[in-house]
Structure 1
Amino acid sequence: MLLSFYNPDVLGDVLIVETAEDVAAQDTTQKDNVVRIFNTETNDAIGFNFFGLGEELGIQNESGQVFLDDKQVDILNSAIAKTGFSDKLETDNSPKFVIGHVAEMKAHPDSDHLHITQTEVGLDKPVQIVCGAPNIEQGQLVVVALPGAVMPTGAEIWPGALRGVDSYGMICSARELGIPNAPQKRGILVLDQGTAGQAFDFEAAKNLFD
Structure 2
Amino acid sequence: MIVSYNLKGVGDTLLIVVKNSEEKEVVSERKGDVARVTIKETGEVVAWNVFMASEKISKLEGNGQINLTEEQVDKLNEVIKEAGFDATVEVDNSPKFVVGFVKECNKHEDSDHLNITKIEVDNGEELQIVCGAANIKQGLKVVVAKVGAMMPDGMIIWPGELRGVASFGMVCSARELGLPNAPEVKGILELPESAVVGSAFDFNMDVNA
TM-score by length of 2: 0.88
Range moving further from structure 2, 162-171 or 86-95: 86-95
Structure-1 residue corresponding to 2:76: 76
Note the 1:5-44 alignment, pairs <5 A.
Answer: 5-7=5-7, 9=8, 12-23=11-22, 24-44=24-44
CA distance in 2 between counterparts of 1:53 and 1:202 reads 26
2:80 partner letter:
I
Task: Provide the secondary structure at the position in 2 that maps to 1:134.
Answer: coil
Match in the other structure for 1:163: 163
Q: What's the counterpart of residue 202 of structure 1?
A: 203
1:20–1:32 CA distance, 2 compared to 1 (3 A) = same
* Equivalent residue pairs, number: 206
How many angstroms does 1:146 deviate by?
1.0
Hey, which of these two has a bigger chunk of helix by percent? 1
Alignment of 1:168-187 (within 5 A): 168-187=168-187
Q: Deviations over 1:79-134 (max 9, x none)?
A: 22234434321122211111000111222122111011111111553011110011
Q: Distance in 2 between matches of 1:34 and 1:195?
A: 40
Q: Within 2, Cα distance between the matches of 1:13 and 1:201?
A: 27
Partner AA of 1:80 in structure 2: I
% same residue: 46
**Alpha-carbon distance between aligned partners in 1 of 2:19 and 2:83, rounded to the nearest angstrom:** 21
Cα deviation, 1:140-194, whole Å, max 9, x if unaligned, reads 1111111222222222222211112111111011221222322212211111221
Q: Where does the alignment leave 5 or more consecutive residues of structure 1 unmatched?
A: none
- Against the structure 1 CA distance between its residues 13 and 177, is the aligned structure 2 distance closer, same or farther, given a 3 Å change threshold? closer
CA distance in 1, matches of 2:83, 2:186: 49
The residue correspondences of 1:27-66 to structure 2 (distance < 5 A) are: 27-59=27-59, 62=61, 64-65=63-64, 66=66
1:16-67 deviation per Cα after TM superposition (whole angstroms, max 9, x unaligned):
221122333111112232110011233211111112341331246x453232
| Cα distance change of structure 1 residues 63 and 105 upon mapping to structure 2, 3 Å threshold | closer
Residue in 1 that maps onto 2:118: 118
Gaps of 5+ in 2: none
